[in-house]
Structures are given as structure tokens and as C-alpha cells.
């Protein structure tokens, strides 16, 4: 172990105090207000992303209710006239940038789902890390650069565990990096959803079809989720499926009212294409969903522990029911994925059409945790972010 002499310790003390001494000299020298303002400007410049962007707002996340660190978390930023002055932005929002607070220079990937100048706009931002139990982690929203062009990068917002992200905002494109875009049959209508636009399905013959792909051929853990609003439903109705119930080609689906359990959503997985009691889980009867109500539902299959296979159902970000499953894996089929219906090999056609509205359908090849889904629900209901007042670089 190295030791220091009294002389060495004296030099170390002076070196440690030097920045403070220099600051004192500067403050003493800056006796007039103009010099003081100049010093403050220099200090602000050091923490400013880019001087071409003249304004910023701090976005602070409230993850205090969740203990998990959220990694690569896509957070929804909702803008409206109560939070911003649209006159400070480019008319199309092309000057917005989201900057990591950690180094004040890293631009974060974002996707504008909807931009309505003077109205409500919805933007997804990939945040590298939000600490568990934190109420102070934040990022910066920069704007006020009228010469800027768009910096959007939608596919970078959704990490590689998202194999499908369909906003259903008058289009059926997949925002994930896998490009699992949908086509429509008897195209669903477009209505206002909880997050911008949503698809309206007639319960008779409208649905969205996504071609089979390796990314959708999930045989392990998965999460199926969506916002739903149902109308009068009797019998099985499907939210999203990779499932053919007539030819033993069942893989997975998220649906509603199976077996006459009115008002209950469910998740199904199958290990061999058939039906197994241990491969289906419903919401509890006390969580029945009424007509005309928007709710977020998520079904999770977790086979990460082969000795404790689990199924979970979440309603509005809260764990509602769970069970031990007897399905060690999911059957690999070449069926297409359908939103709003499933394949029925008995009648050689599509069946079990959804009647109502669907928004924000997502498929992940990982079991999303209770903390993740709780934080996501808060973000999607505009209850996760606090906006600071505007700071200007002037």
C-alpha cells in the first residue's frame, strides 16, 4: 500500500480545492450582472444538446410503484396544448428530439404515431433505462429548430423482443424491426382509440392478416397484448391469433368469451396443435369486461423455468389471474397471424370475428413482467411522465 508524506497530502488538498478556488475567483471577477449572465450561459451551454435547438422540457418518469429496472422501455409521450405551445415547434413536429439525460448528447429513437398541431400528439420513445422505484429518472425533449428535418426511426424504438407492433392508426404496418406488415380483408374502419386511431371490426368479415414469418414462429415464452373495446359478443371472438382450430395447427391466441364465459378475455397456447386444459387461462369472472369500454388486456406464457411453466392474464396493467401450465413449449405452425379473427379448418375459412375496436396490438417473444406491464399501462394512459416548464437557450 502506497503512503503519502505530509507534503504530498498538502499538494493533494490544494488540487482538490483548485476548482472551487477558481470558481471563487471567477465569481469575484464577475462583479457586474453582464459578466455573471455570461458565466451562467457558459454553464448552460455545457449541458445543452445542440445550440440549434433553442428550447427544451424535462420529462420525468414516475416508476416509483415498480421495483424492476425497465431496460429499453418504449414510453409514450403525449403532447397537447396544456403541456406545450405548438407555435414553438415545426408544423409537422420534425424538430423534436429526445435526449438521454445521462450524457446530454445521445439522441433517443422515437416514432411519431400521430402529430396533430394544436391537438393531441402521440410519440413513442425508446428509453435505455428507467430505474426501479425511481421518481426522478428523466430525459429531455428538445425543439425550436426550424431548420431541422425529421429524426424519426420507428423500428429502433422497439427492441428485438417485439416481433410485431401494430398501431392500427388507419394503417396496418408493423413498427417492429421485422416488418410483419398486415393486409386487410373487408378493411376495418378507423375510429378514435386510446392512442390515436384504432381499427373498428364489424364482427362479420373484417380482419387483418400478417404473413407467416420466422419472427412470429414463437415456440417459447411470449406476450400477446392489445387495447380492446367490444360490442355485443357471444361465443369465441379473437383479438389476435396464430391458430387454426380445425386442423390441429393451434399455436397461440388472445381472445374473448371462450366456452360461453361472457365478458372474459383469455390467452391460449398449445404444444402440439391440439387443445389442452392446461394451455388456456381466462380473466377471473369478477373482471368481466362490459360493452363499449376500452381496456388493455395481456396474456403471458412463461416457459423460462421448465419446472414452473406459467400462464398469466393482465387487465389494465394489473395481474388478474395465473396458473401453472402443462405446455412445455408452443407448437410450430405455418399459419398466418390474424388480428380480429382466426382460421377454422373445419369450415376452411376465417371465423370467430371480433366485433368492436382494437388498438395497439403487440406480440413479444418474451414474458413481459408485472412491473413492465404496469409501467406500460401508466405510460399509455398518460400517467407516467411529469413535464417541466420550458427552458430556453437565450
Please report which confidence band the pLDDT of residue 391 belongs to, taking 50, 70 and 90 as the band edges: very high
Backbone angles phi, psi at 123, to 5 degrees: -135, 130
Q: What percent of the chain has pLDDT over 70?
A: 86
Of 240, 226, 157, 222, residue with least CA distance to 364: 222
**Residues 62-87: what's their mean pLDDT?**
98
Domain spans in the chain, listed from the N-terminal domain onward? 55-157+381-392, 162-365
Task: For residue 191, give the nearest of 356, 352, 380, 379 by alpha carbon.
Answer: 356
Nearest to 284 by CA among 313, 254, 316: 313
The pLDDT tens digits of the residues spanning 124-169 come to 999 999 999 999 999 999 999 999 999 999 999 999 999 999 999 9
Per CATH, is 162-365 categorized as 1.10.150.130? no
Q: How confident is the model over 7-55, as pLDDT tens digits?
A: 444 433 433 444 444 444 444 444 555 665 655 555 567 789 999 999 9
Confidence of residue 209 (pLDDT cuts 50, 70, 90): very high
Q: In whole angstroms, how large is the CA radius of gyration of the chain?
A: 26
If you average pLDDT over residues 199-210, what whole number do you get?
95
SS3 state at 22: helix
Amino acid at each position: 500500500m502506497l503512503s503519502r508524506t505530509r507534503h504530498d497530502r498538502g499538494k493533494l488538498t490544494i488540487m482538490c480545492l483548485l476548482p472551487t478556488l477558481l470558481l471563487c475567483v471567477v465569481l469575484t471577477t464577475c462583479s457586474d450582472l453582464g459578466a455573471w449572465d455570461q458565466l451562467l450561459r457558459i454553464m448552460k451551454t455545457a449541458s445543452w444538446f445542440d445550440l440549434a435547438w433553442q428550447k427544451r422540457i424535462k420529462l420525468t418518469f414516475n416508476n416509483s410503484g415498480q421495483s424492476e429496472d425497465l431496460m429499453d422501455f418504449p414510453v409514450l409521450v403525449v403532447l397537447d396544448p396544456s403541456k406545450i405551445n405548438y407555435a414553438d415547434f415545426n408544423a409537422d413536429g420534425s424538430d423534436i428530439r429526445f435526449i438521454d439525460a445521462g450524457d446530454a448528447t445521445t439522441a433517443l429513437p422515437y416514432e411519431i404515431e400521430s402529430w396533430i398541431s394544436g391537438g393531441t400528439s402521440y410519440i413513442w420513445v425508446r428509453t435505455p433505462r428507467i430505474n426501479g422505484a425511481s421518481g426522478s429518472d428523466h430525459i429531455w425533449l428538445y425543439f425550436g429548430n426550424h431548420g431541422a428535418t425529421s429524426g424519426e426511426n420507428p423500428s429502433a424504438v422497439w427492441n428485438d423482443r417485439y416481433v410485431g407492433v401494430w398501431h392500427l392508426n388507419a394503417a396496418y404496418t408493423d413498427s417492429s424491426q421485422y416488418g410483419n406488415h398486415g393486409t386487410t380483408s373487408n378493411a376495418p374502419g378507423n375510429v378514435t382509440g386510446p392512442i390515436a386511431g384504432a381499427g373498428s371490426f364489424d364482427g362479420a368479415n373484417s380482419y387483418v392478416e400478417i404473413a407467416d414469418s420466422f419472427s412470429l414462429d414463437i415456440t417459447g415464452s411470449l406476450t400477446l397484448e392489445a387495447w380492446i373495446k367490444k360490442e355485443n359478443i357471444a361465443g369465441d371472438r379473437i383479438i389476435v391469433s396464430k391458430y387454426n382450430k380445425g386442423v390441429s395447427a393451434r399455436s397461440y391466441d388472445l381472445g374473448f368469451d371462450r366456452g360461453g364465459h361472457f365478458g372474459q378475455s383469455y390467452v391460449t397456447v398449445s404444444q402440439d396443435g391440439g387443445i389442452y386444459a392446461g394451455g388456456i387461462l381466462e380473466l377471473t369472472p369478477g373482471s368481466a369486461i362490459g360493452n363499449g369500454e376500452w381496456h388493455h388486456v395481456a396474456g403471458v406464457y412463461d416457459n423460462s423455468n421448465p419446472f414452473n411453466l406459467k400462464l398469466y392474464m393482465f387487465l389494465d396493467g394489473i395481474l388478474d389471474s395465473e396458473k401453472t401450465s402443462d405446455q412445455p413449449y408452443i407448437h410450430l405452425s405455418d399459419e398466418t397471424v390474424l388480428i380480429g379473427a382466426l382460421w377454422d379448418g373445419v369450415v376452411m375459412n376465417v371465423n370467430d370475428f371480433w366485433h368492436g375496436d382494437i388498438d395497439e396490438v403487440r406480440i413479444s417473444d418474451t414474458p413481459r413482467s408485472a412491473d413492465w406491464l404496469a409501467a406500460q399501462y401508466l405510460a399509455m394512459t398518460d400517467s407516467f411522465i411529469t413535464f417541466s416548464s420550458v427552458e430556453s437557450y437565450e
